[in-house]
Structure 1
Amino acid sequence: MFPIRARADERPARSRRRSGRRSPLATVALVTIGLLLTGGAYTLFTASSGANAAIDLSSPQAIAQGKKLFQANCATCHGLALQGTVAGPSLIGVGAASVDFQVGTGRMPMARDAPQAEARQPVFTDTQTKQLAAYVASVAAGPGLPPSKYLTLTGDATRGAELFRINCAMCHNVAGAGGALTEGKYAPNLQDTTPAHIYEAMLTGPQNMPVFNDDNITPQDKQDIITALKTQAQNEDVGGFTLGDLGPVAEGLFLWIFGLGAIIAFTVWLTARAN
């Protein structure tokens, strides 16, 4: 009698233990909450970093921080006094715009010795990039950062597309998709480039690009070009294969490979049939 009573008493205890187990959905809920909290914290951090990036380039603090960054990361190639060395050109007079473009697009510090510096993930934050620009600009005057009012996509896209075709399409392609140049160099794809960096590239003429100062392409012209490029990048293709938006070269290559291939295949088929 006693053992039976003990087993009867154990059943409710086991049931209580079973009912006290955590549901599998609780783990999923905890993971979801953790991801949401982490994502929210990261968003706040990046937003605060972006807010801090709008610094005064003439402030002594920004210049001092930029000098420290320059001496630690750039002076080996460009010299302590920005005078240049056999490994890198002089930066005297290049201005804040050139530094913001080269460092902000990850082209500098240069990853490897190549015909031209390639765009990649930036090494420095936007705030550090602006501090470097502030220091270089403090040594000698040069083109400054573009005014924010010309970086909005409110220009004349039609006029900008015409200006782009006249001045830029021979290297960057009509669609801004880039193209090959001589000696292993190339005109980069502009579709994912920020408005600020497009403006700075026109203003400073990096790599093989000519300088389009405000006398030959006005700030309003630059805004129109930026508006045209970004409007074109946002538009969806109406149909068919884009072939990389490389223009008639891509279409010709497509016909050469598949059209000629089809002719050869048909010829082989006729020969085999005759035999």
Structure 2
Amino acid sequence: MARESKRRSNGRRSPWAAAALIGIGLLITGGVYAGASAAMAATAEPSASSTLTVEDGKLLFQANCATCHGLSLEGTPNGPSLFGVGELSVEFQLATGRMPLQMQGPQAPQKAPQFTEDQIEAIAAYVQSTSPGPTYPDPEVLDGEGDIARGAELFRINCAMCHNVAAAGGALTEGKYAPALHTTSPLHMYAAMVTGPQNMPVFSDMNLSLEDKRDIISALIFLQQEESAGGFTLGSLGPVSEGLFIWIFGIGALIAITVWITAKSN
């Protein structure tokens, strides 16, 4: 009887063995399924149903924009009419996060966009279908291959009084400001010139031709990509930051040398 009970105890399985086998099986099954799903997703062509339609844009507009701009784009006391603004203006305002407006102020600040790119394009397409306006330019206008020197001259004449000659932005009246353009995309540079958001004037083709706009965009792209030839930019804010630098470090160095000479003589 003793031998029989010992043999049974030696052949008994651990109570965790079944759980371990189930866990291993689930891991293997999940890994195979995940790999197969990824392979199918990589080889499958994008479905047309994944692209939002104008009707989807209408629903998004009614849910997020109509409170201020009206169900039919007619405007309300809280927001202007969108008749004729076009899809270019809508894309600019939504993609830069200026709209939807979080709170009233001197001007709408740029922030992270609330909508995805597909949603923005759908809302813009709905506005364009309801009340057409300025639309996207030819890719050539945004390619950065224009005349950089001519574009820089045009920028100094038409834009530098607000945006600074180095496109660093600047203060305006009543708490408003012209934003820096160091990270602005070529499309949004063009959109700002054509649609005139907030304090920006509208530059029609009578003011600046398409070639002029292309040259200005090319000059700004050059500023974004090239390092300053003059060394430290000090924020590109002109004599204010330069004078402060000279006052602190230049005069500070002279005072330090004077104190050192005086201490030496004593």
Same fold (TM over 0.5): yes
Residue number in structure 2 paired with 1:131? 122
1:220, CA displacement in angstroms? 1.3
TM alignment of 1:173-184, pairs within 5 A = 173-184=164-175
1:126, CA displacement in angstroms? 1.5
Aligned counterparts of 1:256 and 1:271: Cα–Cα separation in 2: 21
- Which TM-score applies when normalising by structure 2? 0.75
Q: Is 1:156 aligned to residue 147 of structure 2?
A: yes
- Which TM-score applies when normalising by structure 1? 0.72
Residue number in structure 2 paired with 1:249? 240
Residue number in structure 1 paired with 2:212? 221
Task: Report the identity percentage.
Answer: 61
The SS at the match of 1:110 is coil
Alpha-carbon displacement from aligned partner over 1:68-90 (angstroms, at most 9, x marks no partner): 11001001111111111121111
Aligned counterparts of 1:264 and 1:85: Cα–Cα separation in 2: 62
Residue type at the aligned position of 1:111 = Q
Aligned counterparts of 1:108 and 1:262: Cα–Cα separation in 2: 49
Residue number in structure 2 paired with 1:210? 201
Segments of 5+ residues of structure 2 without an aligned counterpart are 1-34
8 Å Cα contact 1:97-1:146 kept in structure 2: no
8 Å Cα contact 1:103-1:122 kept in structure 2: yes
Residue number in structure 2 paired with 1:81? 72
1:192 to 1:132, Cα distance in 2 relative to 1, 3 A:
same
Aligned counterparts of 1:143 and 1:82: Cα–Cα separation in 2: 16
Residue number in structure 2 paired with 1:191? 182
Alpha-carbon displacement from aligned partner over 1:56-113 (angstroms, at most 9, x marks no partner): xxxxx73211111100100111111111112111111111111011011111111322
Q: Which moved more, 1:160-169 or 1:135-144?
A: 135-144
Q: Which moved more, 1:182-191 or 1:253-262?
A: 253-262
Aligned with residue 102 of structure 2, among 79, 99, 111: 111
Equivalent residues, number: 225
8 Å Cα contact 1:146-1:200 kept in structure 2: no
Q: Is 1:235 aligned to residue 226 of structure 2?
A: yes
Residue number in structure 2 paired with 1:34? none
Q: Is 1:67 aligned to residue 58 of structure 2?
A: yes
1:249, CA displacement in angstroms? 2.6
Aligned counterparts of 1:109 and 1:257: Cα–Cα separation in 2: 43
Q: Which moved more, 1:236-245 or 1:206-215?
A: 236-245
